[in-house]
Structure 1
Amino acid sequence: MDAQHEIQVESDAVEIKTCCATAYQSDIARLLLGDSFHPGGLKLTEHLGTLLHLGPQQRVLDVAAGQGRSAIALAQRFGCQVLGIEYGTEAVKKATETATEVGVTHLVTFQQGDAERLPVSDGTFDAVICECAFCTFPDKATAASEFLRVLKPGGQVGLSDLTRTGDVPAALQGLLAWIACIADAQPVSSYTRYLTEAGLTVDLIEGHDEALREMVQQIRGKLLVAELLIGLKKLDLPGSLDFEQAKALAKAAATAIQMSKFGYVVIIASKMN
Structure 2
Amino acid sequence: MNSKPETVTGNDDQDLKSCCANVYQSDLARFLLGDSFHPGGIALTEYLGTLLQLGPDKQLLDVAAGQGTSAIHLAQRFGCNVLGIEYSAVSVERANEAAQASDVAHLVTFKQGDAEHLPVSAESYDALICECAFCTFPNKALAATEFLRVLKPGGMVGLSDLTRKTAEVPADLQGLLAWIACIADAQPLERYVQYLVTAGFSMQTLEQHDQALSDMVREIHGKLLGAELLVKLNKLQLPGTIDFGQAKTMARAAATAIKAQQFGYAVMTASKV
TM-score normalised according to structure 1 size = 0.89
User: What secondary structure is seen at the aligned counterpart in 1 of 2:214?
Assistant: helix
1 CA distance for matches of 2:78 and 2:181?
30
CA separation of 1:174 and 1:222: change in aligned 2, threshold 3 A:
closer
CA separation of 1:164 and 1:9: change in aligned 2, threshold 3 A:
closer
Contact kept? 1:42, 1:70, Cα under 8 Å = yes
2 CA distance for matches of 1:116 and 1:178?
23
Alignment partner, residue 147 of structure 2: 147
Match of 2:237 among 234, 239, 245: 234
Q: State the identity %.
A: 64
User: What secondary structure is seen at the aligned counterpart in 2 of 1:197?
Assistant: helix
2 CA distance for matches of 1:151 and 1:47?
20
Contact kept? 1:178, 1:184, Cα under 8 Å = no
The question of 1:20 aligning with 2:20 is answered: yes
Alignment partner, residue 119 of structure 1: 119
User: What secondary structure is seen at the aligned counterpart in 1 of 2:203?
Assistant: strand
2 CA distance for matches of 1:250 and 1:16?
23
Contact kept? 2:23, 2:179, Cα under 8 Å = no
Q: Residue 10 of structure 1: CA displacement? A: 3.8
Structure 2: give runs of 5+ residues left out of the alignment: 1-7
The question of 1:216 aligning with 2:217 is answered: yes
CA separation of 1:247 and 1:270: change in aligned 2, threshold 3 A:
same
Contact kept? 1:32, 1:219, Cα under 8 Å = yes
- Show the 5 A alignment for 1:44-123: 44-123=44-123
2 CA distance for matches of 1:245 and 1:138?
28
The residue type paired with residue 145 of structure 1 is: T
User: What secondary structure is seen at the aligned counterpart in 2 of 1:61?
Assistant: strand
Structure 1: give runs of 5+ residues left out of the alignment: 1-7
Contact kept? 1:116, 1:139, Cα under 8 Å = yes
Query: Bigger shift: 189-198 or 97-106?
Result: 97-106
1 CA distance for matches of 2:116 and 2:247?
28
User: What secondary structure is seen at the aligned counterpart in 1 of 2:12?
Assistant: helix
User: What secondary structure is seen at the aligned counterpart in 2 of 1:54?
Assistant: coil
Contact kept? 2:224, 2:244, Cα under 8 Å = no
Contact kept? 1:132, 1:181, Cα under 8 Å = no
Contact kept? 2:9, 2:138, Cα under 8 Å = no
Q: Residue 226 of structure 1: CA displacement? A: 4.0
User: What secondary structure is seen at the aligned counterpart in 2 of 1:102?
Assistant: coil
Alignment partner, residue 132 of structure 1: 132
CA separation of 1:130 and 1:16: change in aligned 2, threshold 3 A:
same
The residue type paired with residue 44 of structure 1 is: L
Q: Residue 207 of structure 1: CA displacement? A: 1.1
The residue type paired with residue 240 of structure 2 is: L
Q: Residue 181 of structure 1: CA displacement? A: 4.0
Deviations 1:123-166 (A, max 9, x none): 10000000001111111111111100100000000000011123
The alignment yields a C-alpha RMSD, in angstroms, of 2.2
2 CA distance for matches of 1:82 and 1:23?
24
CA separation of 1:12 and 1:123: change in aligned 2, threshold 3 A:
same
1 CA distance for matches of 2:99 and 2:128?
19
Contact kept? 1:172, 1:183, Cα under 8 Å = no
TM-score normalised according to structure 2 size = 0.89
CA separation of 1:222 and 1:200: change in aligned 2, threshold 3 A:
same
